[in-house]
Structure 1
C-alpha cells in the first residue's frame, strides 16, 4: 500500500470511530507497524486533519472533518450503488430524487475503470416493489416532525377498521417491501409502536417532545433488539404492530 493510499485509509478507519482508538488497533487493522501509525498521524495532523489524542490513550478524528470520496474500491462502489437502487425501488419522490443526485455526484469522482464497474454491477436489487398504498398524510410532514422533534397528533385506522387517536414522538420512517411505517414513542401506550403511514388519516404537528432525538433513536434500537431476541421463530401474518 502506497503512503498516500495508506493515509486515506487511516482517515477512513478513524472516521468510522467515535471513541479514541489506540495506535496498536490502527496498526493491526491497516497491517502496518505502530511506528508507521505514529508517523502517519503526525503527517495528517501537520496537513490540517483535526486529530486529537496521545500515546497510551488513543486518537480520535474530531467531528466536522470532511473527507471527499476520492477513492472507492470496487466493493464499496457496489455497496453504495446497490443501496441507491434499493432507494429507487422503495423510496418516495424525495428520496428518489436524492438518490439520483447522489449517484451523479459519485459517478463524477469515480475513475474511468470504476465508472465501467458501476455501469455493469455484479449485484442488483430484487424485483421492483413500487406499488405502495397511497398516503393520506405526506411523508414530508412526518420527516419534518422527526427532524424538528415535534409531537404528532394522529388519527389512525387499524387493519380491523378501528379508529384511534394518539400523540406520538416520531423516531424514524421504515421503508418495507409492501408498506411504509412510522416508528414512534406512543404516549398512550408508554412504549414504542409502529403505524403504517397509509393508515394515518390525519397528522397534526404539536409541541416539541421532552427528549433528545439521539436518545430516542438509541432506546428505540435497543427495544427492537430486545423484541428480536425474545420473539418466537414464527412467520408473521402481516398484522399491524399498532396497539
Structure 2
C-alpha cells in the first residue's frame, strides 16, 4: 500500500475506533511495519490532524474532526484526473475550462501526500482535441437539459435535408470525432440524435418540458441495442 493510501486508511481506522488503538494493531490491519505506522502518524500530526496518544498506549482521533468533503483515495483521485483529461479533449470549451478548475479545487483541498496524482502529471488522455462547431454553444445545450427547456434548431441531415426542429434535449454524447445531442424531436415525434456539426443554428424557446426529462432519458436508454448504442438517429 502506498503512503498516501495508508494515511487515508489510518484516519478512517482512528475515526471508527471506540478506544485508543496501538500502532501495532493498525500495522496488522494495513499489513505494514509498526515503524511505518509511527512515521505515518507523525506525518499526519504534522498536517494538523488531531491525533493524540503515544507508543505502547494507543492513539485516538480527537472528537469533532471531519475529513474534508474532497478527501479521495489515490485511486479515486487518479480516476478524476483521467476524467478531466478526457474532458479537455472534447469540443465543449466551457467544460474544458471547468475541468482545470476542478483539479485546482481538489489540489487545494487535499493533504500534500494525496496531491501526488494531480501534480505528477502521470496520467494522460491521448488523441486529437475535437473542434467546437461554429453554430452551437454547448453551455446553452447543457443549461437547457438542466432547466428542461425546449430548443429550436436548424438541422441538416446526413442526406442533406434541411429542417427546423423543436426538440426537448435530454443528453449530450461526447465522441472523439463529434458531439451528439439527444432529444425528443417534435417534428419526428420521437427521440433522435443530432450531430452538433450539422446544426446550423440553435435558439432557446423559453418553453419548458418540466418533469419530463427523466422519463425521456429512460425511454432513450430502453431503445439502446445490446452494444449500448442508441438505435435512433436522424
Q: By the TM > 0.5 criterion, same fold?
A: yes
What is the aligned partner in structure 1 of residue 23 from structure 2? none
The structure-2 alpha-carbon separation of the partners of 1:8 and 1:167, relative to structure 1 and needing over 3 Å to count, comes to: farther
Matched, 1:218 2:209: no
The structure-2 alpha-carbon separation of the partners of 1:111 and 1:200, relative to structure 1 and needing over 3 Å to count, comes to: same
Unaligned runs of 5+ in 2: 1-5, 17-63
Q: Distance in 2 between matches of 1:131 and 1:143?
A: 18
Larger-gyration structure (1/2): 2
Name the SS for the 2:124 alignment partner.
coil
Name the SS for the 1:89 alignment partner.
coil
Unaligned runs of 5+ in 1: 10-46, 48-65, 232-239
The structure-2 alpha-carbon separation of the partners of 1:210 and 1:114, relative to structure 1 and needing over 3 Å to count, comes to: closer
* Counterpart selection for 2:226 from 220, 225, 228: 228
What is the TM-score with the length of structure 1 in the denominator?
0.62
What is the aligned partner in structure 1 of residue 233 from structure 2? 242
CA RMSD of aligned residues (A): 3.2
Q: Distance in 2 between matches of 1:180 and 1:196?
A: 6
Structure 1 outlier segments of 4+, above 4 Å: 1-4, 6-9
Matched, 1:126 2:126: yes
Q: CA deviation at 1:165?
A: 2.2
Alignment of 1:51-200 (within 5 A): 68-70=69-71, 72-120=72-120, 123-127=123-127, 129-132=128-131, 134-200=133-199
Q: Distance in 2 between matches of 1:198 and 1:82?
A: 26
Q: Distance in 2 between matches of 1:213 and 1:134?
A: 25
- Name which of structure 1's ranges 214-223 and 104-113 shifts more when overlaid on structure 2: 214-223
Answer whether contact 2:135 2:202 (CA < 8 A) is retained. Answer: no
Q: Deviations over 1:101-135 (max 9, x none)?
A: 110011112222222233335542122x2242523
Aligned residues: 178
- Name which of structure 1's ranges 85-94 and 169-178 shifts more when overlaid on structure 2: 85-94
Name the SS for the 1:90 alignment partner.
coil
The structure-2 alpha-carbon separation of the partners of 1:193 and 1:7, relative to structure 1 and needing over 3 Å to count, comes to: farther
Answer whether contact 1:181 1:195 (CA < 8 A) is retained. Answer: yes
Q: Distance in 2 between matches of 1:151 and 1:78?
A: 37
Answer whether contact 1:195 1:241 (CA < 8 A) is retained. Answer: no
